[in-house]
Structure 1
Amino acid sequence: MSFFQRLLLPLGLSLSLTAVDAAVIRQNSDLRSLLSDPARQWSDATTISYPGSSEFTGATERWTIFDPPTYTAAISPGTEEDVIKLVNLARSNDIPFLATGGRHGYTTTIGDLHDGLAIDLSNLNSYSIDSDAGTLTAGAGVRVNTIMDPVYEAGYFLQTGTAYCPGLIGVTLGGGIGRFTGLYGLMIDALVSVRIVTANGTLIEASESSNSDLFWGIRGAGANFGIITEATFQLNPVPNGGNIFTSDLIFPANMTNEFFQAVESYNNVFPAEMAGIVIMSWDDTSNSTVLLTNWIYVGSEDDARSALAPILNLSPPYLTTQMVTANKLINSTFNNFAAAICTEGVIRDIHSTNLKNHNATTWQSTFEQVADFFESHPGARSGAVQYELYPNQAMNAVSSDATAWPWRDAIGYFQTAFSWDQGDDATASASATFAQELMSEVVETSGYSDVTIFVNYANGDEKQENIYGADKLPRLAQLKRTYDPSEMFSWNNGIPTQYP
């Protein structure tokens, strides 16, 4: 259904398909005219593209193509001034739009955007490091991998997620979880300030000392209030002289129960220096489901081996260990497994829930069900089920009231990421049902009474309370009324302007 069709239905109006299509064509024509109007005086660095061109594909291609938005045109602004012009243009002409950096967001709510305008922020890709202040300032188009080496070479480190390809700011806005939340907290905890274009077309700064109310909301619900063109982060000194112990292990099905028992033994004693990622996936070589897991420890190799002994001593058939520099950690995991994770243009349907408890019985049951599912649904074998174990000492040390992030007591994140070939409706349906079944089982021993979701992991079918927290929503709704009363920035798990 097009944007115009959805607009007319609530009004009780009806148009023939031909008339609706004509309305969309007029909208498309009007948008082209608006964008190409010489009076706009776009900068030379700004480019405009339309469907059918390679430029349009480059400006709109997504990491997942499951339930994607559709666009009439794309514009890649080259300056903050052009972003301001775009917001004013969209507001004045009721143009629905979505602004993106790395286009790695996968909530299905953005799929409600049809016949809109894509605002591609990739041209805003400059960054700078202030070595004296220990800060990084990055534009909206900067991706995680871009800053890893320069930050390290300057003698610093920034906690990030576990993939190199997403946009740095986009990863941050939902909270920014990762393997260093035990030592350094969330990425929003490193955020010093942002420059943001709000719904009224004004560029403002938000920080603890300037528009602090907005800064509170941005840290955990940042996609709801405007287009952030630039962000400044406080960097950390390089940890452990820059060296991190990392280990990759693969467990066959007959060893997974022992592994999950070892993981459960870390409940309440998980070191801040340690973190793990567990992936249940199909292995074509053995023609079976296996468990891939990576563990890191920020410290000496002796300390790492001591802390990780319950896992390393299991001695699975595949086990490698090495010391890597902090800037190479992401790409070192399973010989750059991240490259496969970062492949764009693939169907990925993702569901998730937070954890504050590790339960071996649940994880073993989950593994066995995933193995059975992959066995009986070959079309789903390119998908995976993931379990992230991240300590929360530094994250939980920050007051719950300090930011909009609601889940500072989480120590893990469970995620189903199912994939199938275009047109394989049977696998799509089976995957959706199975994901919900797994979620229900995992929540029972998660330590939470209901589903709780890191907003960047949200599927889009959850209740807002499960994403933003019922205690945060009244203040977030008030901020939404102030900064985006017409809900221009609501395609990405939008916050209401009234709550309750």
Structure 2
Amino acid sequence: MCGSKAILLGITCVIRNAVAMTALQVAEGLQASLSSGSSIFLSSNVQYSEQITPRWDVYEPPTYQVAVKPALIEDVKAIVSIHIQYASTNKLPFLATGGGHGYTTTLGSLQNGLVLDMGNFKTMELNSTTNMLTIGGSIKSSDVTPMIQAAGKEFPVGQCTCVGLTGFTLGGGIGPYSSLYGPASDSVYEIEMVSGAGEILTVSKDQNPDLFWGMRGAGFNYGVVTSITYNVYDATNGGNAINADMTFTGAQNGTIWKIMESFVGKQPDQLSISAEINFSATSGIIILVNLLYAGPQEELDPLMQPFLDLQPSNLNISSITWHDIPSSFLYGASVQGCSVTGIEYIPYSVNLYQIDIDNLINAVNFMNTSMTLAPELQTATIALDMYAQGGFQRNTYTSSAFPYRDVVIFAQIDCFALDASATPALAQWGKEMRDILHQGSGKANLEVYVHFAHGDEGNAAWYTEHKLKQLKELKNKYDPNSLFSFYNPVLNTSSSSSIVG
């Protein structure tokens, strides 16, 4: 590894020539500053596509001239330090990526930049005695869940196995077992990172506690995370759950919403409920319902009976392991979604704080009418995830930057453009559907979980007005040059960025 003087010399060389440098010269200048285990690729190089994590979504994407795969945290520090020097001229904006799954449109404001690929940070260590899990910054949930399951432990991962666990956590991180444990960010014990000020930091409740608050819910605004240590938990129900998938017709939607509404304020912590609304060219509206219960089936049966009384056209009830939830949940839909990359996915979302039955019926009617008239819209779906609030309320509203502990349903409008010509219509439809659902949300202002956001909502919608003042103060302290401002950003008080916020 280069000594500190060599790093500074390399940085100085890059900065002094920033105005006139080509992408090749930038790459060469960076290489002189990094350890031998690091790699640099021009986007024109054939190895770029082989070595750099591909983006899952290509709708309004960022573009890059250069990719860097650092090997050590000191390499990350060197790269951030270079960009601190660039900040005044903004010659080469950059983004750190782990799983490559981020899809907000604010990422598209980064053009011709540098991607810092964290693919070399892939360590995993689980201590079953202390119930501590430490992972590197590029680990995905599918990498680590088999090890956790084998140790008789569990942890609130999301529904999609292809998502980078670090990025997932920095925005909160929600999934079926959030009903038990809250967002993944509540389970964070310690973070190792390089801040936007170029400092290597350990962040925990005892070290840099102000930043620890902000990293758990808005963490991608403050630096690059190289590792996270989590608390994990003894497996519930022997590490098994009951998964029930059901299929219903569109005509049954009002009754389905009424049943779901009956669980508001009464939902057991072991239970998560999800519904997915689809449109079939031959059958019209189809509604899939999933009940996932972290306990024995005899406890689930009475909770499930109102749905069974509707006589679903398809029913699949099975006992599964915690690790297998993504491959079983909603007929394995999340695994199917993770099996492809490079798609145009146009996301919209809204938090629902109540179940307004008439509003949801109106949304289904709008979906049925619009998709019947415009077949290009039929690839869009609506996902409604209803997690028990017991897990979220294990910690207080003020305990971290994660703001949404009282949401009844996290509603996602998932628009998939299989043909680029359908993209404008799907984007417009998704926005219209979001507006409809917002009318029944129970809140006057739009609020949305940051990882589900489209990117046009603004930072008050992502983080709430109540938390923005403290988040901006942290931005001024830990990322004063706003280097980390391309993913649904918190903008510091002096920023003149044009990014929505």
Shift of 1:24: 9.3
Question: Residue 30 and residue 446 in structure 1: after superposition, are their counterparts in 2 closer, same or farther (change >3 A)?
Answer: same
Shift of 1:214: 0.3
Q: Which moved more, 1:87-96 or 1:67-76?
A: 87-96
Shift of 1:440: 2.0
2:288 corresponds to 1:288: no
Could you report, residue by residue, the CA deviation over 1:28-75 in whole angstroms, capped at 9, with x for unpaired residues? 243233234xx324332x222222444322415211101000000111
Structure 2 counterpart of 1:320, which letter? N
Which of the residues 123, 144, 147 maps onto 2:144? 147
Distance 1:486 1:64 in 2: 28
SS at match of 1:316: coil
2:365 corresponds to 1:386: no
Partner residue in 2 for 1:15: none
Which of the residues 28, 32, 37 maps onto 1:33? 28
Partner residue in 2 for 1:163: 160
Partner residue in 1 for 2:474: 479
SS at match of 2:179: coil
Structure 2 counterpart of 1:481, which letter? N
SS at match of 1:117: strand
Which of the residues 347, 351, 365 maps onto 1:350? 347
Q: Which moved more, 1:164-173 or 1:374-383?
A: 374-383
Q: Which moved more, 1:322-331 or 1:208-217?
A: 322-331
Does the aligned pair in 2 maintain the 1:51–1:73 contact within 8 Å?
A: yes
Distance 1:332 1:245 in 2: 10
Structure 2 counterpart of 1:33, which letter? E
Partner residue in 2 for 1:336: 332
Partner residue in 1 for 2:104: 107
Distance 2:171 2:264 in 1: 26
Question: Residue 55 and residue 293 in structure 1: after superposition, are their counterparts in 2 closer, same or farther (change >3 A)?
Answer: farther
Which of the residues 198, 210, 213 maps onto 1:201? 198
Distance 2:48 2:372 in 1: 39
Could you report, residue by residue, the CA deviation over 1:336-372 in whole angstroms, capped at 9, with x for unpaired residues? 3222211211001111111121222222221222222
Partner residue in 1 for 2:313: 317
Structure 1 counterpart of 2:483, which letter? M
2:69 corresponds to 1:76: yes
Structure 2 counterpart of 1:85, which letter? A
Which of the residues 399, 403, 414 maps onto 2:400? 403
Shift of 1:380: 2.8
SS at match of 2:437: helix
SS at match of 1:268: coil
Structure 2 counterpart of 1:154, which letter? A
Q: Which moved more, 1:230-239 or 1:253-262?
A: 253-262
Does the aligned pair in 1 maintain the 2:141–2:162 contact within 8 Å?
A: yes
Distance 1:265 1:41 in 2: 58
Which of the residues 263, 266, 269 maps onto 2:263? 266
Shift of 1:186: 1.1
Partner residue in 2 for 1:302: 298
Does the aligned pair in 1 maintain the 2:53–2:119 contact within 8 Å?
A: no
Q: How many residues align?
A: 472
Partner residue in 1 for 2:3: none
SS at match of 1:472: helix
Distance 1:273 1:309 in 2: 16
Task: Show structure 1 runs of 5+ residues with no match.
Answer: 1-22
2:49 corresponds to 1:57: yes
Question: Residue 53 and residue 91 in structure 1: after superposition, are their counterparts in 2 closer, same or farther (change >3 A)?
Answer: same
Shift of 1:395: 0.8
Q: Normalising by the residue count of structure 2, what TM-score does the alignment of the two structures yield? A: 0.90
Distance 2:468 2:34 in 1: 40
Partner residue in 1 for 2:11: none
Distance 2:319 2:200 in 1: 44
Could you report, residue by residue, the CA deviation over 1:213-266 in whole angstroms, capped at 9, with x for unpaired residues? 000000110000000110000001101111101111111223222222211222
Percent identical across equivalent pairs?
28
Which of the residues 225, 228, 234 maps onto 1:228? 225
Q: Which moved more, 1:448-457 or 1:380-389?
A: 380-389
Structure 1 counterpart of 2:134, which letter? T
Q: Which moved more, 1:374-383 or 1:273-282?
A: 374-383
Partner residue in 2 for 1:18: none
Partner residue in 2 for 1:368: 365
Partner residue in 1 for 2:211: 214
SS at match of 2:344: coil
Partner residue in 2 for 1:440: 435
Does the aligned pair in 2 maintain the 1:252–1:290 contact within 8 Å?
A: yes
Distance 2:196 2:417 in 1: 38
Shift of 1:290: 1.2
Question: Residue 24 and residue 459 in structure 1: after superposition, are their counterparts in 2 closer, same or farther (change >3 A)?
Answer: farther
Q: Normalising by the residue count of structure 1, what TM-score does the alignment of the two structures yield? A: 0.90
Partner residue in 1 for 2:15: none
Could you report, residue by residue, the CA deviation over 1:197-219 in whole angstroms, capped at 9, with x for unpaired residues? 01232211000000000000001
Question: Residue 308 and residue 335 in structure 1: after superposition, are their counterparts in 2 closer, same or farther (change >3 A)?
Answer: closer
Distance 2:483 2:198 in 1: 11
Does the aligned pair in 1 maintain the 2:126–2:148 contact within 8 Å?
A: yes
